[in-house]
Structure 1
Amino acid sequence: MRILLLALILVVPALMFSWPHALIRADQGDIDVTSVKATSLYPVGITFSISAQSSAEIEEVRVYFRNTGRVTAGAYREVEFRAADADSAGSPESNRSIKGEATLSTGLGGGYIPPGTEITYSFEIRDESGAVYRTPDHVALYTNTAFDWEFLTAGPITVLHYGQGSGTRAQLILDAATEALDRMAPVLGFDPTEPVRIVAFQGFQDLFDALPLRMKALQSRVRTEGMAFGDERVVLIDGLNPDYRGITSHEITHLVVAEVTGRANNRVPSWLSEGLAEFGNVDPTSEYRTALDRGILTNHVPPLSALAFFGGSGEDIIQAYGQGLSVVRFLVDGYGESKVAELMKEFRSSLDINRALEAVYGFDQYALDTDWRISNGLEPLPKPEDRKSLRALLPTVTPSPTPPPTQTPTPIPSPTLSPARQPAFTQYPALTPSPTVTSAAPSPTSLPQPSPEVIVGDSAVESSDEPGTGPASPGCSSPVHGTGMFSGDPALLAILTLPLAMLATKRRPRDQ
């Protein structure tokens, strides 16, 4: 009933820079910054604004920004500015005193940034005399300004909540998160000191409105109850869900897995990632185990190699969660908790689950799958190299010839196919709510270098180097029952139905 999405990896090789605290360069001249602020345009963007003046003409202004947290590189945008005394048509009198702004889009596609994200930003101003001035760092908290947020903090965890009576539930959420961190620290081998922000929404609709577009598209099949964003160190949950303790602890564990695996996190197979997250669940339900037991009873249990990513129907996904948890428990019960931490460390360097398993346990994923199946009363699957192709497993259907047309067409019975087994700033004064949330943000200035590759699973995708563009994986959800939709492979559906369509095709008689 959970899902994870990882985002906001800011790696800009051509523009990497350090973030010294309150840096002011020696060649700053007499540049004077009179005001800076960040304005939330949630859910479409953040606008960074500046007013500055100098005795020389100001030639260039940039805003540098990064996610506040473990990431130490950032990106910048050119700030569009004009003379502070320009007329309404924009004709400048002098660029010695300027006002400018730049907008970071956060709403769609790879630019998505979850609410609850802290963004560190600063401005750099250059004038024609060669003087350069960098402002001190400022921190903006990106949130939905329609809500009156309150903050509850203990240790590294802060819960953001709103609404009448939300404080009591926020405390319970904080307790569940703390319990999960304490529980998983020895298992994953980490010290829980990194800051975490949990955004607790008042109901599913408020959570749904905050989800990235690609997750909203999945809600007809699964209902997202929580989502974790590793680089932002943010968890979004439905704070009114009765299973809030389980959701919170599951998502917090996802953040921990992301922390201990680093950039390798997007290569962790879903069976292991979700299995660990459920292992960290402090209030588990029986739904996953029931779904797995049903799969074992009907001999419908896919190999672990097919669970690098979860897919299929809602019931298939729920069973996959149960299978992942069961395999993780099998490893912990048989070899001890400390081995899991070794596995994650090895995976971080090898980026390969087979090599990591062999280095730590002495066996690969197939051998693990075999031993787990035998322990659950299942027959082992053939070795991957001995398995038949999908086409070889499908029944062979030979279409009958089409009869000649008659006045009354004779129906051709369709054969019956045997079923195939499917194997604002911390004090936040400068994060000013926008008086009107617009439907779209101004187009951001492109960064001046090519985007690097970010590896997602077994494929490479292009990513731009700014907040909200890191690798992502699906989030944590429960199934939506009764949707009646096919959620398997479209190619498989076509292979299965084409012979039937050919047999069922009949020529209609000509009009007399």
Structure 2
Amino acid sequence: MRIIGFMLMCIVGAIVVSNSSNWVLASEPSFSIVRQGAESKFPEGVRFFLEVNSIEPITDIRVYFEKMGQSSRRSYRSLEFEEGTSVSAEFLMRSGSGGQYIPPGTRIEYFFEIYDDAGEANQTEEVTFIYLDPQFQWKTLTDGLITVFFDDESMTDVGRTILETASTTLEYMRPVLGIDPEEPLHIVTYENYRDMSKALPFRSEATSKHLITQGMAFREERVLLVHGQSDSVVGTTSHEFTHLLLADAAGRAIQRVPTWLNEGLAEYGNQHSSGEYARYLQYAIKNGKLKPLWHLGTFSGSPGEILLGYGQGQSVVEYLVSTYGQNKMAELIQSIKSTFDIDAGLKLTYGFDQHGLDSEWRRSLGVDPLPSPKKKIPEELQQGVALPTIIAPVLKPTIPPSAVPTPVDKVLPTVDIDSTNNNYRNDPIASTGKDEKPKGTTAPGCSIIYNSPVVQSDVSTLTLLGGALSLFGFVVWRKRG
């Protein structure tokens, strides 16, 4: 019996050792990461790469990524590699040509998933990558959630000015928009415009020859690009940064915010405004040229009419805030966010629609109100559409008493952003050193690009070079949609 008992104990011990050995093997990692990461291939996009060894042949490697911003959406792609137990895989997330445009300064979170022939999967840790042009040694300045990236040590003072402007704008607009940002906001500034131009979305060749983009904001990525050597860099930063803040406040309803309100708030937030729009507004008041507010869902018409649209929007926003207070404006943004309709939002907040607001505002100016529109305001007039606009020039032309100023001699170009095929144009010749300012460079403008899901960009400041107007030597061109 003792012998039998001893034999049973040996058998049980052997089973325990065997099971223990199998458990240890199962707990050992099946994959060994040799190298992994993301690399900027600006302006083509981001290259994700992974080198890994495995016990079993690797059958699939996926990279999961999302551009962090207003409405982050995670996607994944399979990497290219030859199957085996030791593989090197990569995938290029394209920007511009054939893919989604990625503005410099975009935060991208990513991780890899690895699958082997035995059906086992393994996942790497999540990493955050910031997409920038690798030819520069980027410097940064940060204040809370706001970070400014600048491409040269000589731009330190400019970067500090931009950061202070953005921080001041945030504090000024915080109660007006009712916002308390929780995610980072990035501003990327360039010393040389030729370098910055490579970072911009596609524009037609004709447009590129005539326009300088002084600032462009991308609401989805929470990124603002700024030409740091522009004389109007402070005003550009303040105006365009306000657009980012409004997008933060309105969320998905930003596309339902009419242009008069969007641009009016941007100018309200711009504490460095030139005041040029007020001149066009006063001319329109004197000559009966004011447009119905519900016709300013997007700006269109002659350059003078578009400038007037900015003036009206700014004046109406100032009237609302001064009459009803900052808190009510913040309520209006939330009402639009919940209703996706400007008239419904106005009624919920103030008790009147666009016609009622237009009437109150006109009376405050000593102008008779318009009759109520007979038909429902068309939906397309209540939201931003990609239409060209211009901004007031630096030179102060004398407005003739007979008509709103209109361009002559030369047709102004239409800013053409193709939202379905955002191909980069041929890159301009790279240069070093500071810009040589072309003759005719003028003040900033603004543009909001509401386009397809491929490109989610917002505000672009454009300057017209050499477009002659009869009233003044040069004018600033803006695209707003």
Would the TM-score normalized by the shorter structure come out above 0.5? Answer: yes
Aligned-partner Cα distance in 1 for 2:46–2:425: 12
Check if 1:212 corresponds to 2:209.
no
Check if 1:375 corresponds to 2:364.
yes
Aligned-partner Cα distance in 2 for 1:216–1:296: 39
Aligned-partner Cα distance in 1 for 2:304–2:62: 50
Aligned-partner Cα distance in 1 for 2:331–2:459: 25
Deviations 1:295-320 (A, max 9, x none): 33333332222221223344433322
- Show the counterpart of 1:173: 162
Deviation of 1:183 after TM superposition, in Å, equals 0.5
The 8 Å contact of residues 28 and 133 in structure 1, kept in 2 or not, is answered as: no
Aligned-partner Cα distance in 2 for 1:385–1:373: 19
- Show the counterpart of 2:479: none
The number of residues matched between the two structures is 383
- Show the counterpart of 1:183: 172
The 8 Å contact of residues 261 and 345 in structure 1, kept in 2 or not, is answered as: yes
- Show the counterpart of 2:35: 35
Classify the secondary structure of the residue corresponding to 1:57: strand
Check if 1:360 corresponds to 2:345.
no
- Show the counterpart of 1:116: 105
Go from structure 1 to structure 2 and tell me whether the alpha carbon gap of 1:280 and 1:438 turns closer, same or farther (over 3 Å shift).
closer
Go from structure 1 to structure 2 and tell me whether the alpha carbon gap of 1:323 and 1:224 turns closer, same or farther (over 3 Å shift).
farther
The 8 Å contact of residues 176 and 282 in structure 1, kept in 2 or not, is answered as: no
Matches within 5 A, 1:342-491: 342-385=331-374, 463=453, 469=454, 471-473=456-458, 475-477=460-462, 482-483=467-468
Deviation of 1:367 after TM superposition, in Å, equals 1.4
The 8 Å contact of residues 318 and 478 in structure 1, kept in 2 or not, is answered as: no
- Show the counterpart of 1:68: 68
Deviations 1:12-34 (A, max 9, x none): xxxxxxxxxxxxxx999512221
Bigger Cα displacement from structure 2, 62-71 vs 250-259: 62-71
Q: 1:286 aligns with which of 246, 263, 275?
A: 275
Aligned-partner Cα distance in 2 for 1:176–1:197: 13
Could you say what the CA RMSD is over the residues aligned between the two structures, in angstroms?
3.3
Deviation of 1:484 after TM superposition, in Å, equals 6.5
Go from structure 1 to structure 2 and tell me whether the alpha carbon gap of 1:221 and 1:348 turns closer, same or farther (over 3 Å shift).
farther
| TM-score (structure 2 length as normaliser) | 0.72
Aligned-partner Cα distance in 2 for 1:438–1:57: 42
Matches within 5 A, 1:285-364: 285-364=274-353
Classify the secondary structure of the residue corresponding to 2:294: helix
Percent of matched pairs sharing the same residue: 38
Go from structure 1 to structure 2 and tell me whether the alpha carbon gap of 1:256 and 1:243 turns closer, same or farther (over 3 Å shift).
same
Deviation of 1:330 after TM superposition, in Å, equals 0.7
Deviations 1:125-147 (A, max 9, x none): 10011110111112221112222
Classify the secondary structure of the residue corresponding to 1:152: strand
RCO higher in 1 or 2 (8 Å CA, sep ≥ 6)? 1
Bigger Cα displacement from structure 2, 129-138 vs 372-381: 372-381
Classify the secondary structure of the residue corresponding to 2:119: coil
Classify the secondary structure of the residue corresponding to 2:242: helix
The 8 Å contact of residues 160 and 198 in structure 1, kept in 2 or not, is answered as: yes
Classify the secondary structure of the residue corresponding to 1:482: coil
Go from structure 1 to structure 2 and tell me whether the alpha carbon gap of 1:470 and 1:228 turns closer, same or farther (over 3 Å shift).
same
Aligned-partner Cα distance in 1 for 2:291–2:206: 26
Go from structure 1 to structure 2 and tell me whether the alpha carbon gap of 1:472 and 1:199 turns closer, same or farther (over 3 Å shift).
closer
Deviation of 1:476 after TM superposition, in Å, equals 3.5
The 8 Å contact of residues 44 and 439 in structure 1, kept in 2 or not, is answered as: no
Q: 2:225 aligns with which of 214, 225, 236?
A: 236
Aligned-partner Cα distance in 2 for 1:114–1:173: 18
Aligned-partner Cα distance in 1 for 2:101–2:204: 11
Deviation of 1:279 after TM superposition, in Å, equals 0.8
Counterpart of 1:54, as a letter, is S
Aligned-partner Cα distance in 1 for 2:357–2:28: 62
Q: 1:106 aligns with which of 95, 111, 114?
A: 95
Classify the secondary structure of the residue corresponding to 2:56: coil
The 8 Å contact of residues 117 and 234 in structure 1, kept in 2 or not, is answered as: yes
Go from structure 1 to structure 2 and tell me whether the alpha carbon gap of 1:381 and 1:217 turns closer, same or farther (over 3 Å shift).
farther
